[in-house]
Structures are given as structure tokens and as C-alpha cells.
Structure 1
């Protein structure tokens, strides 16, 4: 979440008049994240989120995202739901951007995730993968392996401004992943961005999954790899095997990883690290002037990528092969 497009109070009040959610009491921009402009609304009916879609989110993809949230909710996954306006529409236009109001989920995201948080995320991710199995809409992952070279090309000439040698490091890894990326693993709906700030907890209980605006159809185990990178490293970027074991054990109790998925996991984790390294690098080098946004450090993912390059197999993520049933 972030704020790239500001919204005036009168403009917002006019927009809200088309919804049955009461009168506006207050609103504030949310600076976390990097993709859309987001605001927390307080009306006489309660709290809501307002999202203005921009950057990588295409308007034509919005029915997929919003439809997926409704589908997952019908399958017992606790995720936010779009609010319909007085014309029974879930999409509107505000400040020149497609806009939607999303209902508010109680909870806070964990600033210091522990093994119990990681286990809850593993359980929730596996349930999401199963629940998405009969979702009929599809969306290709524009940020999978075929989308990484265009990102690299955008940032390549300036990569060494961030760290000397970064250009060659990225080029070599991209060449390797393009040649080695698996093509025949189980696929389905993935969240693709399940970072700690997209998972809400009430105490130790997971209360909801949010921000589905990268969701797509791709390799299910790639989503697992994204979470390993997002949840199982410490602030000093060291890998926490205890967290990884808790996450993978909880996931496998709901959805068993096949032998091929287990074998591919280190490569998928390298790909996940490169994907976020590249998008962070592009964002770092291209922050819009005046944007209320904090770009995330790309070098964090250089360290994670180097770790994943050193991984020989799933044991290095904390699990022996007998821990899974093929």
C-alpha cells in the first residue's frame, strides 16, 4: 500500500455519496507498500479501505482480483470483500483512477514474525491454494520468469549505482533461471505477494489475508518459495530454519508437496528472490516525485538470493525428505 495520487475531501465525499456506507468522518493515506494508492476511511458506518489502482495493476485485471476475493471468501478464506455502490458496481472512478472500496478486516500484521506466525501462514497458504482450485477466471503472471528480463532491461544501466557488480550478478542469475525454470509443476491460483504486511493477526490467531493485486495463475510451489523469502529471514538477513520448518510443515499438512515440487523448491526460491530484487530495484530508481511512498531496499533480496543459491535441497530449509509424503 502507498499513496501516489492524492484525493481531496470534497472529491472523496462526492465519490462516497454513491455508496451506502454513511458520511465521511475522516480519512488518511497509508504509506506502506509500493503498488496502489490506499486510504483508510472512517465513515458513520465504520471503517473501510479505499484503493486507487495504478502502476502495475491493469484495469482489465480488476474483475479477476475482486472476483477471486469473493470466491475465496465463499470457501472459508478470510479476505476483504469489495463494497458495491448504489448501482451494484464494485469499481468506480476517482481522481482519474479506477477505484474500489474494500471492507475492513480486524487485525494487525506481525512486525516480528515468529515460528507460530509462520506456521499459521503455511496453513493459510495451502488452504488458499486448494480453495482456488475451482476458481474459473484466469490471469497470467506477468512477473514470472518471462517478465524478469524486461525488468532487468529497465534497471540494467543504473544497477551498479546501488552496488558495484550488481548488473553482472543479476545478468548471470537471470540467464540461469531462464534456462532452468521448471515448466511441469502443479499450477493454480497463487497470491504471489503474501508478505507479513499482507497477513493480519488478532493475537496469535491469523485473522485475514489481504492485498490480492498480484494474484494470478502460476506454479503453486512458487508461492511457497515467495513466502520462504518473505517470512523466514531475520532482520540481519540470516535464514531462520525454525521458521521455515514451521511454515513448510504446516503447509504440507493441508497440501502435500510432490517430490518434483520439493526438488524444485531451491530454484523457485532463487526465482522469487530475483523477482522481488528486480521490482524493488526498478521502484528504487524510479520513485515518482512527491509520492508518499517508502521504496524497499533491493539489497535485502541480493542477500536472500545468495542464500538460496547455496541451498542444495529441501533439507537446507529445515526438513528431511521423510517429513513429506509423496
Structure 2
């Protein structure tokens, strides 16, 4: 359960006096998510999301995250809009944690990804990339190539507890990616965590994107590489080329990829696989006994990495130049 900080009734009532959102009717914890404490806040004026930012989120980064959400919303992208208090500020403190209220988004995340989900996602990603081009703030990706090395070193030989020989596989892959990682592709602000539980749909219509707390400046095509991993594999680890083709095609209808970006996709997809393999591995190794949140299986991303290592050309992703 992703509620790490319990909020007493009197404290949320006092907190809400700093807003023009009416009085509290109910506050219900949201079980999904792993980084922050999230609640559905129901007041006499409507439904909202109350988020308390836990220790893994740097307070100094919050103006970037909240500002980016507001910027996207102003450009017509459906995402949580930060709610300002009576003093004009959208960031304050509750129960000793930085806290913010955002607008509530209707919709559900897809439990079973269908091709139409990938079609809608590609278009929305491209629209977000274009909308973020004039966002004035910047934040480096702490989980890019150098960050992978830090997580890899932190896991050390404990990787062998998960799978024999895994340490050597990870070190070899990191060395290859660090040497060949592209540096001169188009960059901008990316969401960087566009998994299915962060994208809402109402029937076949994408109704909104949530959870911007990994957003950062990086290669725009790297976002697509993350989504190839998150959206285009089946439960048996087989790659669904139809889903990939739809996602990439609708992206390019809005923002065409350069030839360099297209040719870099297999390498970027390997990097995205390694990134999530490593962070899942770290969480698996360091999972506290009795914790509510169950760590995700890192081996899922080892299987995805092996697929991308076998890719011969971008035609394996459904793209024909």
C-alpha cells in the first residue's frame, strides 16, 4: 500500500483552510504507486488528489515537477493540475512532508494493454514533447547512464542472490551502453516513467497522464524506448510488433523522428531495459521485511534486455525506412 505517512483528520482539516476548496468530506489512501503517499481528497467542492512527498523525492525538484504539470495543462495536455492555495502557492507542508493538491483525473489505467492503447499513447507522448519545448525549467536525469552505474555498484554481488551470473551480465551491458550511448540526439523534457499505471483511459480514449515525479531533461527518443519496454511486451516476454508499430507511427504523425533517432532506438531500448532492471533489482535486494509495497520482478527486464540485444534493425520494431 502506497501510504507511508498517515494524515490525521484534524491535520488535513487545518491544511485545507489554506485553500478555497471547501471542507473535508473524506480522505482515502490510494494503494497504487511506490514513491509517495497519495490520497483521494473529497471536499464539498469536488474530488482532488493529495500527495505527500516522501524521502525519495527531493524537495528541491518539486517546483520543476509541479511547474511542468501546470505548463502541460496550459498547453492542453490532460494531466493533474496543481491547485494553488489562497496565498498563490501550490506547495506546502503536511505532517512533516512537502505536500500538494492536484486536480482529480477521470479514467482507469489499462490492466491489459491493447493495440489501441499504444496508438493513443504514441500521439500523446509526441504532443507532450512538443508542449514541453518552451518549458523554462530543467532537471537532469539522475537515472541516466551515470546513475545506472551508481545503482549497479550499490547492488554489487548481491545480484547473484536473484540470478546466478547476473552481476557479470549487468557489468558487461553497462560497459557497452556507456561506450555507445548517443549524446547528440534531440533533447527535451520527458516523463521518464510512462508505465501503464500512469496513463488513464476512458474506453479507448486516453484521458490523462499522471505521476510526473521522474520527469527530467533527456533524449526525447529515450521516452519511446521506455514505452517500447513498458507497453509492447506480452506476459510471456514476447515482443508485440503491432503495438510498437502503432505507438511509433502515431508519435511520428505528430513529431517525426530523425533518421539518427530511429537508428538509435534499439540501443536506447537496451538502456531503458537496463535502467528498470537495475532499479527493480536494487528494490528487490533492499526490500524491508514486512513492507506493504511488493517489489517488482527485475528478471522481467532482463528478458526484455535480451530481446533488444537481439534486434538487428529498427524493422524489428515495425519501422521500415
Tell me the residue number matched to 1:324: none
The SS at the match of 1:271 is helix
Tell me the residue number matched to 2:136: 136
Tell me the residue number matched to 2:300: 300
Matches of 2:298 and 2:91, distance apart in 1: 33
Tell me the residue number matched to 2:39: 39
Tell me the residue number matched to 2:119: 119
Aligned residue runs from structure 1 range 125-274, under 5 A: 125-274=125-274
> Does 296-305 or 16-25 show the bigger shift?
16-25
Q: Assess if the C-alpha contact under 8 Å between 1:34 and 1:294 holds in 2.
A: no
Q: Deviations over 1:103-138 (max 9, x none)?
A: 101111111111111010000001111111111111
Residue 288 of structure 1 and its aligned partner are, at CA, apart by 4.5
Tell me the residue number matched to 1:97: 97
> Does 197-206 or 2-11 show the bigger shift?
2-11
Check 1:63–1:301 CA distance in 2 against 1; reply closer, same or farther (3 A cut): same
Tell me the residue number matched to 2:5: 5
Matches of 1:100 and 1:39, distance apart in 2: 11
Q: Deviations over 1:51-79 (max 9, x none)?
A: 11124321111111111111111111111
Residue 289 of structure 1 and its aligned partner are, at CA, apart by 5.6
Q: Deviations over 1:265-312 (max 9, x none)?
A: 000000001111111111222235654323211111111111111111
Matches of 1:11 and 1:289, distance apart in 2: 30
> Does 12-21 or 196-205 show the bigger shift?
12-21
The SS at the match of 2:113 is coil
5+ residue gaps, structure 1: 322-326
Residue-pair matches, total? 321
Aligned residue runs from structure 1 range 49-60, under 5 A: 49-60=49-60
Q: Assess if the C-alpha contact under 8 Å between 1:18 and 1:85 holds in 2.
A: yes
Tell me the residue number matched to 2:65: 65
Tell me the residue number matched to 2:29: 29
RMSD of aligned alpha carbons: 1.4
Q: Deviations over 1:146-189 (max 9, x none)?
A: 11011111112311111111111111111111111001101011
Aligned residue runs from structure 1 range 74-85, under 5 A: 74-85=74-85
Matches of 1:246 and 1:65, distance apart in 2: 29
Matches of 1:241 and 1:149, distance apart in 2: 31
Relative CO higher for 1 or 2, CA cutoff 8 Å, sep ≥ 6? 1
Matches of 2:189 and 2:62, distance apart in 1: 15
Matches of 2:304 and 2:313, distance apart in 1: 16
Q: Assess if the C-alpha contact under 8 Å between 1:31 and 1:292 holds in 2.
A: no
Matches of 2:144 and 2:78, distance apart in 1: 26
Matches of 2:250 and 2:171, distance apart in 1: 35
Matches of 1:90 and 1:289, distance apart in 2: 36
Matches of 1:279 and 1:91, distance apart in 2: 28
Residue 210 of structure 1 and its aligned partner are, at CA, apart by 0.9
Matches of 1:92 and 1:203, distance apart in 2: 36
Normalised to the residue count of structure 2, the TM-score between the two structures is 0.96
Residue 2 of structure 1 and its aligned partner are, at CA, apart by 2.2
5+ residue gaps, structure 2: none
The SS at the match of 1:76 is coil
Check 1:289–1:20 CA distance in 2 against 1; reply closer, same or farther (3 A cut): farther
